[in-house]
Structure 1
Amino acid sequence: MTSTAANRADTEALSRRVIRQLRSGIGPLFAALVIICVALSIASPEFLTTSTLTNIMVQVSVVGIAAVGGTFVIITSGIDLSVGSLVALSGMVAATFMAGLSPGAVGLGIGGLFIALATGAAVGAINWLAISWLRLVPLIVTLAAMAMGRGLTLAISDGRTKFDFPNAFTVFGAKTIAGLPMPMIVMLVVFVIGHVLLRKTTFGHQVFAVGGNQEAARLAGIPVRRVVFFTYTLAGATAAIAGIVLAGRLNSALPSAANGLELQVIAAIVIGGTSLAGGRGSIVGTFIGVVLIGVINVGLSLLGVNPFWTQFIQGGVIFAAVLLDALSQRKKN
């Protein structure tokens, strides 16, 4: 009896959480995703297949992983334009460290993973330093970091692609587990960790408080600088993980990798309902935004739409999401 009552209570609690999510703006977004998927499956019989859906998840994995850290930054009313360059830089730094190693060099392959993560986290920390201590505008700081990161990637590589990494490094991009591609698995794990961190921890609550009103958060005893430090460091680390996955998928590090990725990341986050004004957002919404972008890209490709129009449509979706966010903010004020 006790077990049955407990199960019923758990089910009711889950139902309440689902209803809250549906009312919070994620519901309409999810409905839009379902409608688009149904329309594309009718227009193209090839769309609703296991291979196509798996391909979508693999294609959006790099954007999705980077978008998790970016969501934290934007909720604190910040912005990070350096993620694309950081994806390329992290992969290239690791590739340079592992140059010439045999596929079985496990120790150094793992070392390459840690070097990539350290690179991403370090750049994120430097961004925070310029924003919090020098009081520079996040947009300008991360724009400069974007240019410097891309330039450093080109300088390290001499503009050349680096190939052939140890298996311990490529496992996260090229292997499968139970038929599921590792990029997809890594992305889902990062999303789950991000969701728990944002919704179930004190740090996550502090992120929302800082984004809502920094001064009020400071007066409430929240260590604002420390919270912002962790968000930018987290954004750098997730960009590095995305770089590891991308380099592993391609078994190469390209100096031009992830060019323009920052716009896709911001698009996914904003489409997912995170406010550019800060204080509002969710990892679940970002995930739906990421998948929605992937569905649109692959769906239009299956329909034979010119890829240039795909980019135009992406821009239109971003504009619509930002417009809805702005109208929502005005209504609140």
Structure 2
Amino acid sequence: MKNSSQKSRFSGLMNYIGLLGALVAMCALFSFLSENFLTLETFKTLSNDIPTLVVMAVGMTFVLIIGGIDLSVGSVMALAASVLSTAMVQWGWSLFPACVLGVLAATLCGVVTGSISVGWRIPSFIVSLGVLEMARGLAYQVTDSRTVYIGSAVESISSPIFLGLSPAFIASVLIVVGGHLLLTKTVIGRHWIGIGTNEEAMRLAGINPRPSKIMVFALMGLLAGIGALFQVSRLEAADPNGGVGLELQVIAAVVIGGTSLMGGRGSVISTFIGVLIISILAAGLAQVGVSEPMKRIITGLVIVGAVVFDAYRRRNERAA
């Protein structure tokens, strides 16, 4: 048992080193290709663009660890943003209760996905596809299929306040730290890892995995709602078409960070580095003038490479 724990720690350390090495190499490459890349302004812009992706990637890390997947997060984020903006603009609500309502709407979507998937033992990707369509449709209904402009009432959340960093970025980093502690230092975190590793063994140990799994999907919804708040504050508007394809970016960042698609293994810190990698890759490719189709091809190759590497690592672990 001790050897297994030491192996796990060593594997996690090597994963951190590998990801940080890739991040440094990528920064070095783009700074060589573009003289404007390695500047303070670039990294300020990046740091204030990523909070939505960061918080949603934390939630997706938990979902993948328990062996699930949630494809609805982009639409759920759009719904939360639509509810928030409509409450402020049309109903005259102040910022705080409107934010609470938007986050609650997103959390409810997560509860629905988790309850149906767990209660009826339906694969979560199928259920979340249905929730994806429903959430998007509700976003259109709430906004009457139009972008809702809020204005400066929400801009303070994404306005730089300290060293060029915004409250949204600082909050997203705190969520990463909290997510890491939740996963590694609490009983519920160990339960999630155990569920993803061997759910039947957890049942035989007298632990009911159902409440924990539903909680993870609810948490994913809640974090999608917080991500919606960050996005609305940055754009000062809510677009019912917003977040289309965002679930793919979220999953890509988590997979690049080393979380297994098969469940049972993952790290919130690694996911954060994965978000940085995918964001720096996109920014660097844009600065060197790579076309949009080629950017997508390169990003796709990186994701496929991460999945292949994960499969290779799992095979070696089984052989050992």
Q: Give the C-alpha shift of residue 165 in structure 1.
A: 5.4
- Tell me what 1:4 maps to: none
Q: Is the 8 A contact 2:76 2:106 kept in 1?
A: yes
- Tell me what 1:96 maps to: 86
Return the letter of the residue paired with 1:63. Answer: L
Closer/same/farther in 2, CA of residues 164 and 295 from structure 1, 3 Å limit: same
Q: Is the 8 A contact 1:22 1:28 kept in 2?
A: no
Closer/same/farther in 2, CA of residues 101 and 166 from structure 1, 3 Å limit: farther
Q: Distance in 2 between matches of 1:96 and 1:177?
A: 30
- Tell me what 2:280 maps to: 295
Q: Distance in 2 between matches of 1:179 and 1:239?
A: 24
* Correspondence 1:328 to 2:313: yes
* Correspondence 1:139 to 2:125: yes
- Tell me what 1:148 maps to: 134
Q: Is the 8 A contact 2:82 2:238 kept in 1?
A: yes
Per-residue deviation, residues 62-106 of structure 1 (Å, max 9, x unmatched): 11111001100000000010110011100101111111477xx7x
- Which secondary structure does the structure 1 equivalent of 2:89 belong to? coil
Per-residue deviation, residues 271-292 of structure 1 (Å, max 9, x unmatched): 0000000000000110010000
Return the letter of the residue paired with 1:38. Answer: A
Q: 1:122 aligns with which of 108, 111, 128?
A: 108
- Tell me what 2:19 maps to: 29
Taking every aligned residue pair, what percent have the same amino acid on both sides?
A: 36
Alignment of 1:59-74 (within 5 A): 59-74=49-64
Q: Give the C-alpha shift of residue 59 in structure 1.
A: 2.1
Q: Distance in 2 between matches of 1:222 and 1:313?
A: 43
* Correspondence 1:248 to 2:238: no
Any gaps of 5 or more consecutive residues in structure 1? 1-15
Q: 2:300 aligns with which of 315, 319, 333?
A: 315
Per-residue deviation, residues 283-319 of structure 1 (Å, max 9, x unmatched): 0110010000011011111101112211111111111
Q: Is the 8 A contact 2:52 2:227 kept in 1?
A: yes
Q: Is the 8 A contact 1:154 1:255 kept in 2?
A: yes
- Tell me what 2:34 maps to: 44
Any gaps of 5 or more consecutive residues in structure 2? 1-5
Q: Give the C-alpha shift of residue 208 in structure 1.
A: 0.5
Equivalent pairs counted in the alignment come to 311
Q: Distance in 2 between matches of 1:142 and 1:101?
A: 30
Deviates more, 1:304-313 or 1:73-82: 304-313
- Tell me what 1:197 maps to: 182
Q: Distance in 2 between matches of 1:223 and 1:24?
A: 33
- Which secondary structure does the structure 2 equivalent of 1:222 belong to? coil
* Correspondence 1:285 to 2:270: yes
RMSD (CA atoms): 1.8
Q: TM-score, normalised by structure 2?
A: 0.92
- Tell me what 1:8 maps to: none
Moved >6 Å (runs of 4+): none
Q: Give the C-alpha shift of residue 182 in structure 1.
A: 2.5
Per-residue deviation, residues 158-192 of structure 1 (Å, max 9, x unmatched): 1101012573x443234534531233212212111
Q: TM-score, normalised by structure 1?
A: 0.89
Return the letter of the residue paired with 1:55. Answer: T
